[in-house]
Amino acid sequence: MMLALIENAFLSLVGSAIPASTVVVLAALGCLVGERVGVLNLGQEGLIGIGAVYAVISVLSWQVESPWLALLIGMIAAAVAGVLFAIAVVVFRANQVLVGLALALGGVGLSNQLGTNRNGTPIQTQFTEVNPGGVLDDGGILEAFFFHDPIVYISYLLLPAVLWFGLFRTRHGMNMRAVGENPAAADAVGVSVTWSRIAYTVLGAALSGAGGAYMVLSFTPTWSPDIARGRGWVALAVVIFAAWRPFRVVAGALLYGSMISLGATAQARGWGFVFDAADLSFVLSMLPFLVTLVAILLPAGAATIGRRVRSTAAPAALAIPYSREER
């Protein structure tokens, strides 16, 4: 009996943690792509909002019936914001922290404004889970781990694999990492710092937008104001925790997602330990942010105390504008 209860709770935790983390996986991979070429985009919160609201608009106002097309529209909208961001910080070399925060503010403002009349309207166009023939639908461990929609597979497996291979196993990836570590050297061997930074900043913005679009196309099928609710900042933190490596991003995002679904599960089942159920829900909704914070601090702390850890350093030229005449 007890065992069955625990198994049940565990399955619902895993089952909900995986989709809950997908947004963070996508946004964090988006950050990673930009940060590897030396561009810090603090505007994740805004990009998620823009991606989400344009997916909502495409479904509700433009009658888009394919979730893939809605996802693409969300990505394009976020990419447009990414182009503006890239022009400001790469072409004009404006301060990345300032413009990033501007994008976070402006993006949240814009998406909330556009979403104003669409609050709570259900989004019918949804991704559906991949379940071959329905025969394996056992309501148990298989379902929790394996039956998710295609975006989950793409975000957790395909995308990190492609990024890992591209970054660490190809010449192009080596050049891109050089742009993030030592742009002057990359420039000297003929890599265009400006264009690679623009291209990957825009690609990163599109991925973050995909995260936002995914939220309304599968995870929470309706628009609500401030839809990102801090996920953009968590994504930025997850990249630090992951030491700028694609598969570790997945692990970091899952850590966050499991805290989120722990809160949701506890609330749904009225659990209470230490605190009673009502108070516990407040504590649990702080946990994702606290756990993320601790996750960033731990590697740095371990490095200081003397345990050898694999390099956790940020790309050396992160957030530093590159100008050939200023070398």
Tell me: does residue 243 bind another protein (CB under 8 A): no
Site mask, another protein, residues 28-47, x = CB under 8 A? --------------xx--x-
Q: Please state the closest distance from residue 150 (CB atom) to another protein, in A.
A: 30
Query: Which residue from 6, 157, 185, 290 is in contact with another protein, where contact means CB under 8 A?
Result: 290
The site for another protein, by CB under 8 A, has a size of 52
- Specify the 3-state DSSP secondary structure of 119: strand
Secondary structure (DSSP) of 251-308 = HHHHHHHHHHHHHHHHHHHT--SSS-HHHHHHHHHHHHHHHHHHHHHHHHHHHHHT--
- The residue range among 16-24, 101-109, 187-195, 212-220 that interacts with another protein, by the rule CB under 8 A, is 101-109
- The residue range among 21-29, 64-72, 92-100, 117-125 that interacts with another protein, by the rule CB under 8 A, is 92-100
Helix axes 231-241, 246-269, angle to 10 degrees: 130
Reading the block at residue 239, the tokens are 């990249």
Tell me: does residue 320 bind another protein (CB under 8 A): no
Cα separation, 252 vs 152, in Å, equals: 15
Alpha helices in 63-158 (DSSP H): 67-86, 96-115, 141-146, 150-153
Partners of 219 in the β-ladder? none
> Of 238, 224, 197, 225, which is closest to residue 23 (Cα–Cα)?
238
Tell me: does residue 107 bind another protein (CB under 8 A): yes
- Interface residues with another protein (CB under 8 A)? 42-43, 46, 81, 84-85, 87-88, 92-95, 97-99, 101-110, 112-113, 116, 230, 233-234, 236-237, 240, 278-279, 282-283, 285-286, 289-290, 292-293, 296-297, 300-301, 303-304, 314, 325
